[in-house]
Amino acid sequence: MSNEFLRLAVSGRAEERGFQHGQLLADRIGRTVEFYTRIFGQPDSVLFELADHFKRKIREFDDEYATEIESVAEGAGLDSSYIYALNARSELLSLKTNECTAIYFQKTGILGQNWDWASVLEPLTVLMRIEYPNGHVIQMITEPGIIGKIGLNSSGIGVCLNILRIKGRLDGLPVHVLLRSILDSKSIDEAKIALKKAGQGKASNILVADRHGNCFDIEFARDRSLKIEPEQTFVHTNHYIGEHINPNAGIFRCSYARKQTAEERIKALTAYSVQDMKSILLDRSHGEFPINRRYTADDVIEEIGTVCSVIMDLPNQTIHLKRGHAVDTDFSRYTL
């Protein structure tokens, strides 16, 4: 097994970018669709009806994203409903949320996180570079068929994601499409406009920062949002911190433990370097609930653990990326 993720570059207009994405990753997209349709647990008739709802939401938000999604489907030779469902997978799933630790160092403009999710996706995940005709460039780690995720852009904007849990149906603009909109932003202010336009209907945390040390965090709580202004250093895991919505009990014990471990490690730092970020994301000092997580059995998604660790050095427009949960493998470095 390679220690690096597949790298893919796409460019051009929405239909060109999408078709390249779909055609070049057709096999991986098919396998990703197969996995998610299995865990969605819905017949195609129901899934397609749900996908049609999100299609309307995406078209209302930005028609270009819908065009890109449909072009991904065309390139992959699949019904576009499957690709809309992929991009809305966080809204369609109702799972335990013991995944992902995101951290920001304001002093050095370094943003990073572990993406903890299904082991089946590790060999399918790609590092994608998207180049627009106007020269704007995005580099992100994503699942095949999903048009937005964790990454940075040529304007020095970076974004991280933590899934949260709250009662009620999630029927807003898919958070992964919102992540793409943030990566398309040229400034923090533009990113805030995109977030406002997106509306509610999500249960996720989005951490946005730029190369100048500006940062904001927003927790979506289904029908409202909670805004947090990070100072100097910031940690977010998988429970709400803007309000006490999720208790430090049951499935949320892991989230509270990881946040506490990361904050304790940060207190001892002086440099706030990429190496410091690596050491925290690889931490296994908490035996039961480590930050870096080996794959363990899950009753819904089969196995869950750290799919990758990603660190964004925003001033230098560089991603440091490590595949999988092994602590003895090196990070690869990719400059935009």
pLDDT tens, position by position, 224-258 = 999 998 989 999 999 999 999 999 999 999 999 99
User: Residues 284-308: what's their mean pLDDT?
Assistant: 93
Whole-number pLDDT of residue 96:
55
Query: Is there a shared CATH topology between the 8-91 domain and the 94-335 domain?
Result: no
Architecture of domain 94-335: 4-Layer Sandwich (3.60)
pLDDT tens, position by position, 317-332 = 999 999 999 998 999 9
Architecture of domain 8-91: Orthogonal Bundle (1.10)
- For every residue of the chain, which 3-state class applies, written as one string? CCCCCEEEEEECCHHHHHHHHHHHCHHHHHHHHHHHHHHHCCCHHHHHHHHHHHHHHHHHHCHHHHHHHHHHHHHHCCCHHHHHHHHCHHHHCCCCCCCCEEEEECCCCEEEEEEEEEHHHCCCCEEEEEECCCCCEEEEEECCCCCCCEEEECCCEEEEEEECCCCCCCCCCCHHHHHHHHHCCCCHHHHHHHHHHHCCCECEEEEEEECCCCEEEEEECECCEEEECCECEEEECCCCCCCCCCCCCHHHHHHHHHHHHHHHHHHCCCCCCHHHHHHHHCCCCCCCCCCCCCCEEECCCEEEEEEEEEEEECCCCEEEEEECCCCCCCCEEEEC
What does the domain layout of the chain look like in residue ranges? 8-91, 94-335
Lowest mean pLDDT among 6-10, 24-28, 139-143, 164-168: 164-168
Highest mean pLDDT among 89-93, 119-123, 328-332: 119-123
Whole-number pLDDT of residue 98:
66
User: What's the pTM?
Assistant: 0.97
- Percentage of residues of the chain with pLDDT beyond 90: 93
pLDDT tens, position by position, 259-272 = 999 999 999 999 99
